[in-house]
């Protein structure tokens, strides 16, 4: 087996779904325990999703959960995946995220998105159809507030006149901002125009390569230096389903129940390239998709090598706890990954800023 260069980083994704066999409190406490374990095991990052009014995601504020995680960890990067900008006042979000950045001593990764679920907007009496325009305004204000002591802005939704912003984040330039990208090229283009990093989900390896090339081309045309572009892409990665067990058969069998419950709870919405009809998931097809790395340590190593060779990306965000997977199973998967997979791809003290 050919071992690739030891330059990859691996994060974990947390949606915090409350499946029928778990309570809200159990799932949220399990998630924090997993993040603490990830910090100890050498995972590079932990990413928290934000939802409301949905059992498939019960963290309604990434900044609250990230603050709890920051207080209990020392090294792991902590990211929002994503903070739904149209549902927050951008100045308050900037203040909250700067506070998380301070609690974590500069370990914050700020992932942003516009939101996709109309029910979540209706629950807060927010106009779903305005989310794209509001997202763009909010991102401008958020970026300015994290880099500057005062903010002035005049737009369709916000009129801000020379308002001071406290507290200030640890680094003067603010935490790195990540844009979450799935099927739409427009999100990648916007990320490149602003020089933000990205996290990919829901697309094939072929589309991944297309979007990376699109990012490079757009960033160059927008005036960013080769160094800036290289650094932004070096932080970027892709979200993949993952479970590691002693055998591939065991890994695939034990991951199935939580995945199928989650897909059903998502109301048949196509997710990560897996199309579902009539609440039935073709599990065998799912296991063969570009977005699944599920199996023994040996198989997972081979799958990651293939991903690296095809996409050239250095980072993967692993979704181990989908749909309320049993805690012992998730922790075992994390342990096996850390002990038997991680050493093939990372230098022990690699730091990605």
pLDDT in tens, 119-168: 999 999 999 999 999 999 999 999 999 999 999 999 999 999 999 999 99
User: Closest by alpha carbon to 205, among 269, 273, 270?
Assistant: 273
> In CATH, what class is 9-344?
alpha beta
Across the strands, what pairs with 57?
54
* CB proximity list for 128: less than 8 A, separation 6 or greater: 118, 121, 122
Give one word for 332, left, alpha or beta, with left for phi > 0 and alpha for psi -120 to 50.
alpha
Chain segment 14-29, per-residue pLDDT in tens: 999 999 999 999 999 9
Parse the chain into domains and list their residue ranges. Answer: 9-344
- CA-nearest of 64, 29, 35, 30 to 47 is 35
Asked if 169 contacts 101 with a C-beta cutoff of 8 angstroms, the reply is yes
List pLDDT tens digits, range 220-236.
999 999 999 999 999 99
pLDDT digits 0-9 by tens, 65-88: 999 999 999 999 999 999 999 999
Q: What pLDDT does 184 receive?
A: 86
Question: What pTM was computed for the model?
Answer: 0.93
Report d(CA 114, CA 134) in Å as an integer. Answer: 8
Map residue 192 onto helix, strand or coil. Answer: helix
- Alpha carbon distance 304, 346 (integer Å): 12
Strand partners, 317: 11, 239
Q: What percent of the chain has pLDDT over 70?
A: 92
DSSP string across 293-346: EEE-HHHHHHHHHHHHHHH---EEEEE-S-SS--HHHHHHHHHHIIIIIGGGTB
pLDDT, tens digit (0-9, with 9 covering 90-100), for 287-344: 999 999 999 999 999 999 999 999 999 999 999 999 999 999 999 999 999 999 999 9
**pLDDT at position 211, please?**
97
Statement: residue 351 has pLDDT above 50:
no
Contact 202, 226 (CB under 8 A): no
Q: CA 245 to CA 256: how far, in whole Å?
A: 13
Average pLDDT value for the chain: 93
3-state secondary structure (DSSP) of residue 46: strand
Over residues 237-263, the pLDDT tens digits come to: 999 999 999 999 999 999 999 999 999
With vertex at residue 142, the alpha carbon angle to CA 139 and CA 148, rounded to the nearest 5 degrees, is 135
Helices (H), the chain: 24-41, 62-71, 90-103, 118-123, 131-147, 185-194, 205-221, 226-235, 248-265, 283-287, 297-311, 327-336
The position carrying tokens 């081979």 is 302
Say what the pLDDT of residue 278 is: 47
The answer to whether the beta carbons of residues 179 and 187 sit under 8 Å apart is yes
Q: Is 67 helix (H, G, I), strand (E, B) or coil?
A: helix
H or E element at residue 220: helix 205-221
């Amino acid at each position: 087996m050919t071992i690739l260069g030891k330059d990859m980083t691996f994060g974990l994704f947390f949606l915090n779904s409350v499946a029928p066999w778990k309570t809200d409190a159990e799932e949220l406490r399990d998630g924090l325990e997993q993040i603490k374990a990830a910090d100890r095991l050498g995972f590079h990052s932990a990413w928290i999703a934000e939802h409301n009014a949905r059992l498939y995601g019960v963290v309604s504020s990434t900044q609250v959960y990230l603050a709890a995680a920051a207080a209990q960890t020392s090294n792991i990067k902590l990211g929002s995946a994503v903070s739904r900008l149209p549902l927050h006042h951008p100045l308050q979000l900037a203040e909250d995220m700067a506070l998380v950045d301070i609690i974590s001593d500069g370990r914050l990764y700020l992932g942003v998105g516009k939101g996709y679920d109309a029910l979540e907007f209706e629950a807060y009496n927010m106009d779903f159809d305005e989310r794209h325009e509001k997202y763009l305004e909010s991102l401008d204000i958020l970026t300015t507030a994290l880099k500057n002591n005062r903010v002035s802005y005049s737009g369709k939704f916000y009129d801000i006149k020379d308002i001071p912003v406290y507290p200030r984040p640890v680094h003067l330039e603010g935490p790195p901002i990540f844009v979450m990208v799935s099927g739409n090229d427009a999100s990648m283009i916007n990320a490149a125009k602003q020089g933000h990093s990205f996290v990919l989900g829901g697309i094939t390896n072929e589309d991944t390569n297309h979007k990376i090339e699109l990012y490079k081309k757009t960033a160059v045309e927008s005036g960013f230096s080769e160094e800036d572009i290289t650094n932004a892409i070096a932080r970027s990665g892709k979200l993949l389903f993952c479970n590691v067990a002693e055998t591939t058969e065991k890994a695939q069998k034990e991951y199935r129940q939580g995945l199928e419950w989650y897909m059903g709870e998502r109301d048949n919405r196509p997710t990560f390239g897996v199309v579902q009809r009539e609440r039935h998931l073709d599990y065998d097809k799912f296991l063969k998709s570009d977005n699944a790395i599920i199996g023994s340590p040996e198989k997972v190593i081979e799958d990651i090598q293939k991903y690296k060779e095809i996409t050239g990306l250095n980072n993967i965000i692993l979704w181990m706890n989908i749909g309320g997977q049993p805690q012992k199973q998730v922790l075992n998967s994390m342990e096996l990954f850390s002990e038997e997979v991680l050493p093939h791809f990372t230098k022990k003290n690699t730091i990605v800023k």
